[in-house]
Amino acid sequence: MDLRDRWNRLLPHAQPLGDDLLARYAEQHRHYHDRQHLTEVLETIDELAAYADDPDTVRLAAWFHDAIYDPQADPGENEEVSAQLAELELAAYGVDADRVAEIGRLVRLTAKHDCAPDDRNGAVLCDADLRILSMPAARYDEYAAGIRQEYEHVADRDFARGRMSFLQSLGETRLYATDRGHEEWERPARDNLNREVESLGPRAARPIGGLIPVIYFGAALGAIVASSVLLGRGLGAAAKWPADPSDVSGFPVWAPIAGTAAAAGLACAWFRRSQQRLVTVPAIVFAAVGMIAIGVCWWRWPAAQPGAAMSERWPYLLIASVALVLAGALLALARRLRLAPPYAQAPPRWLGVGATAVCGTLLAWVVVSAGEPFVQARLETANTVSTTTTIEPTQQPVQLDGTLAWSREVPATGAITGTAGGVAELRPDGVVMSDAATGQIRWRYSRADVQDAASSGSRGLVVSADGKVIAAHLPRSQYRRPAGIKLPTYAVLDAVTGKVLTEVDTDGTALAVDADRLLVAEDNYVVSHGVSSPTHWRAQVRCTVSQGELVGDQAVVVDACAGNGAVVRGLDLKTGAQKWEVDLGARIDLSAELDPSTWVGELVAVPDTREVSGLIWTGAAGGTLYQWSVDIGEGHIMWTTPVPGTPRPRLGSSSCDAQLAATHASLVLITCRTGNEPGQPQTYDVSASSPADGTPQWHHLLQVPPKLQQPEYPRNGFGLLPDGRVVTLMPQANGSCSPVMIGTTGVQSRPIVPSPNTEAVAKSEEVTCDKPAVTVAAARPVFSDGTRLFALN
C-alpha cells in the first residue's frame, strides 16, 4: 500500500491535505526526513497496532510529526509548528476536537520521545519514530548520512560534537517504550549507536581508511607466494606410490622464486600507483588459471589401486590452485577498495609496506601450514578401502571332532588372530575379517599406501580382552612418507562391524586396546590415545616399556633398563598417574645385560580377576625363564616360579619367543628347551599352572621338527581353546600335516576329517606345515599353512 492509499484510508474526504503533506515530505532539503522515513514509521505503527489505544490516531500523528522540517530551527521548534499545523488542518476538515488534541500532543511528544509509562499511543509513535536506530547497518548508515546532509550548513567538528551528544543522551535511557520494541530492537539499536559514536570520535584514534586495501593486497601477495610453495611441493612429489627414489625429482626451487618475484612486481606497481591494469590483469589471470587448475586436478584425481597409491602430488596441486584463486579474488578486492572514496587516501609509505609484509607473511604461513593437514586428510580418504557389515557373525555349536569346517586359499597370509567378529588376517595392505564358522569374508580394511603390514607378524594385530576391538599395525615404508604428512600407523577397528574407530600416527608399538583407548609404548613413555573418547595422556617412566595390558581401571606396563632391573607399574587409565609399582629384581636375579626388547616376555591378564602374569628371562643357571604374577589391586608380587633350561630369546634358530596365555582356570606356557643338535627335533615345553599360586596343573614335552624351529613359532603356531587345551599344527610320521591337541590327557594327534561340503577341497589341496599359524575364534581352531586358511570342528 503506497502513501496516498494509506492517507485515503484514514481521511478519504481530505485528499488535498494528503497531497500537501506528501509534497512537504518530498522537499529538496530532506535527505532522511522524507517519504521513506514516513513509510517506515507507518509500517512500524502497523506492527505495533495492538499496543495502541487508537492506532488510527497514532497514524495521523505520524503523518504530521515531521510535516514541517527546517534543519536550522531550534530544538523542538519543528515539532511544535508541525503540531500546530495538524491542529489547524484537521479541525478544518471536521476531525473531532478530542482527536485533534491527541494528535497535537503526540506530535509534540516526538521532540524528546519522553512518553509516560501509561501512554500507549505515545509509546507506539515514539517507537516507530526511533525504529530507524535498530535497522540493519546498511540502512542505519544511510540514515546517518542523510542526517549529515540535512545539516550540511554545520561544520564537521561542530556536527560531530552535537551528534555525539545526542546519540550519547539516547544511549543513557531506554530507547523503546513498547515491550516488543524493547525486546527485539533495543540491542541492535545500541550496537548501531555505539558504532556511530566510535566513528565520530577523534580521527587519530581510528584506523587509517587507506590501510584497508593495503591489508587485502598484502594477503593477496601472501596467497601468491603460498601457491608457489605448494606448487613446488606437488611437482616435487612422486606421481604415485611406491616410487623409486630416482623417479622423484625433488623440490623445484624455481616455483617459490617465481611466486616471490611476481609478488614483488605487484608490490612495486601498487606502491608506485602505476596503471591500474598492472593490478587488474594479474587478478583476472590468477583467478582464471586457478579455476582451470582446479578442474584439471578434479579430472585427473587418481583412484586408489592395490600396489599403486595416490601420493601427495595431486592434493598439493589442488590446494595450490585454490590458493591461486584466492590470490586473484583478494587482489581484485584490494583494487576495488582502493578506488572507493573512503579508502582512496594512501597511508604513509612505511606503514603500507609494513602492513603488506606482515599480512602477506601471515597468510602465506597459514595457507602453507593448512596444506599439510589437507593433504593428509585427502591421502587417508583416497588410499583407504574400508567395508563394513551389519550382519552378526555366524553362531554354530563346535564339536571338536576334527571335521574340516571350511578351507579357503588366501594371498600372502600374515598373522591371524581370533576376535568376536571372526578370524582377523593381517594382509600386506591391511586387515581381512572372516566368519569363523563359514570362512566367508565379513569385512575388509586396506590402505593402498601400505604394502608390508604382514611383516609385523603376530605383533601387528592387537585385540581387546573381549575381542570386539582390534588394532592393526600399518608400518611406514622408506619411500612412502612425505615430509610433514603424518599418515596413520595404527588403525583401530570394530572387530564385529569393521567400522574404523580411529587412526593413530605414532612411532611407538601398540601394547593393548579396548573400546576407549589404544595403549602405545614410545621408548620410556606410555601413551594413551582416545578411541571412543578424546581422553589422551602421556606418562613417562624410568626405562624402556616393552609390555602392557589394560585391566579394569588400570594400564599395567613393564619397563626395564639394561642392568637396572625391571619394574611392573599400574597407571590410572584416566590420567596416566602411577598408582603402584613392583620391582621384579627384588624377587628375581636379573641379568646385568638385560635387553627389554628380547628378555622381557609376554604379559597377560587373567580373565575376571585383578591378576596379571608375565615372563622374564635371566642368565642365571645357564638361562632361566621366570614366570611371575602380580596382584594389581594391592600392587604386590603374588608368586614367581622358574622354568629352567630355556634359551635366551632371539639367540639363533634354537631359541624361541615363549608364549603365555590365560584362561579363567589356567596359565598356559609354551617355550622351548636348550640342547638340541642342529638339524634334529627340538623339545618344546607345554605346561599349565594355577593363576592363584603358580602350582603346576599339567606338563608335556613336544618334539618339534627342524623346519618349525623358528623364534616366532611358539607365539604364532599355538592356540588356546576355551577349555584350556592347546592346539597346534605338526608334521606327522606319514608325511601329512595335522592338528595336535595338548592338555591334561597328553599330546594327541587329530587327523583332519573332511566333511561333505569340503571333501573336494581337502582331496585337491593337502594341508602343509610350512608356515603354521593357529588361532581360536568362536571356540573353533583356525589354521593357516601359508597358502590357505582352514577351520576345524
Tens-digit pLDDT profile for residues 550-574? 998 899 999 988 666 789 999 999 9
pLDDT of residue 757: 55
Q: Which of 170-179, 420-429, 440-449, 486-495 has the lowest mean pLDDT?
A: 170-179
Mean pLDDT of 144-166: 82
Radius of gyration of the chain (CA): 42
The DSSP secondary structure of 680-742, one letter per residue, reads: S-EEEEEEEE-TTT--EEEEEEEEE-GGG--TTHHHHSEEE-TTS-EEEEEE-TTS-EEEEEE
Inform me whether the pLDDT recorded for 621 exceeds 60: no
More confident residue, 83 or 270: 83
pLDDT > 70? residue 756: no
Candidate from 162-176, 336-350, 695-709 with smallest mean pLDDT: 336-350
pLDDT level of residue 675 (50, 70, 90 thresholds): low
DSSP state of 219: H
Q: What are 475-528's pLDDT values in tens digits?
A: 866 555 556 677 888 999 999 999 999 988 888 899 999 999 999 999 889 999
Q: Which is it for the CA torsion 488, 492, 493, 499, positive or negative?
A: negative
Q: Where does 48-172 have alpha helices with state H?
A: 55-64, 77-92, 97-109, 120-129, 137-150, 156-171
The pLDDT of 16-26, averaged and rounded, is 90
User: Across all residues in the chain, what is the average pLDDT?
Assistant: 84
Query: Between these two residues, 786 and 392, which has the higher pLDDT value?
Result: 392
d(CA 43, CA 46): 5
pTM score of the predicted model: 0.66
Helix 55-64 vs helix 3-10: crossing angle, to nearest 10: 130
> How much is the pLDDT for 205?
38
Q: In 10 A of CB 549, how many CB atoms?
A: 21
Confidence (pLDDT) at 312: 82
Does the pLDDT at position 276 exceed 70? no
pLDDT at position 556, please?
93
3-state SS assignment for residue 224: helix
The cell numbers describing 151, all together, are 545539516
pLDDT at 171 over 70: no
Least confident of 107-116, 137-146, 184-193, 745-754: 745-754
Is 762's pLDDT higher than 80?
A: no
Mean pLDDT of all residues in 327-338: 88
Asked if the model's pLDDT at residue 170 lies above 80, the reply is: no
Q: Are 413 and 789 in contact (CB under 8 A)?
A: yes
**H or E stretch at 629:** strand 624-631
- 772 or 720, greater pLDDT: 720
CA 262 to chain centroid, in Å, comes to: 36
pLDDT tens figures, 582-596: 988 888 877 656 666
Q: What share of the chain is helix, strand, coil (3-state, %, to 5)?
A: 40, 25, 35
- Measured in whole angstroms, the distance separating CA 316 from the mean position of its chain's CA atoms is 20
pLDDT recorded at residue 175: 87
**538-551: average pLDDT:** 91
Return the pLDDT at 717: 85
Least confident interval from 77-91, 379-393, 414-428, 580-594: 580-594
User: Which amino acid does the sequence have at 464?
Assistant: S
pLDDT at 209: 65
Position 543 scores a pLDDT of 87
**DSSP secondary structure code for residue 190 in this structure:** H
What is the pLDDT, as a whole number, of residue 483?
A: 61
Q: What is the pLDDT of residue 760?
A: 39
CA distance linking residue 273 with residue 323, whole number of Å: 25
The whole-number pLDDT of residue 599 equals 79
Comparing 608 with 240, the larger pLDDT belongs to: 608
Q: Where are the alpha helices (DSSP H) in 200-348?
A: 211-236, 254-271, 277-300, 313-339
Pick left, alpha or beta for residue 787 (phi over 0 → left; psi -120 to 50 → alpha; otherwise beta): alpha
Query: Please, what's the b/e burial string for 322-351 (b: 16 or more CB within 10 A of its CB; e: otherwise)?
Result: bbbbbbbbbbbbbbebbeeeebeebbeeee
pLDDT beyond 90 at 533: no
* 622 class by beta-carbon count within 10 Å (0-12 exposed, 13-18 middle, 19+ buried): exposed
Q: Closest Cα partner for 578 from 545, 559, 556?
A: 556
Q: What is the pLDDT of residue 280?
A: 83
Beta bridge partners of 560: 544, 566
State yes or no: pLDDT of 549 exceeds 90.
yes
At 277 the pLDDT is: 67
Average pLDDT over residues 170-190: 86
Flag whether pLDDT at 204 surpasses 50.
Answer: no
* Amino acid identity at 106: L
A 10 A CB-CB count for 710 gives 17
Question: What pLDDT was estimated at residue 789?
Answer: 84
Residue 16 has pLDDT above 60, yes or no: yes
CA 106/CA 97 separation, integer angstroms: 14
313 pLDDT higher than 70 = yes
Q: 575: which 3 cell numbers?
A: 590420567
The candidate with the shortest Cα–Cα distance to 485, out of 493, 494, 476, 497, is 476
List pLDDT tens digits, range 340-388: 655 656 677 888 889 899 999 999 999 998 888 888 888 878 788 888 9
The predicted structure's pLDDT at residue 495: 93
Does pLDDT of 130 surpass 70? yes
Per-residue pLDDT, 478: 55
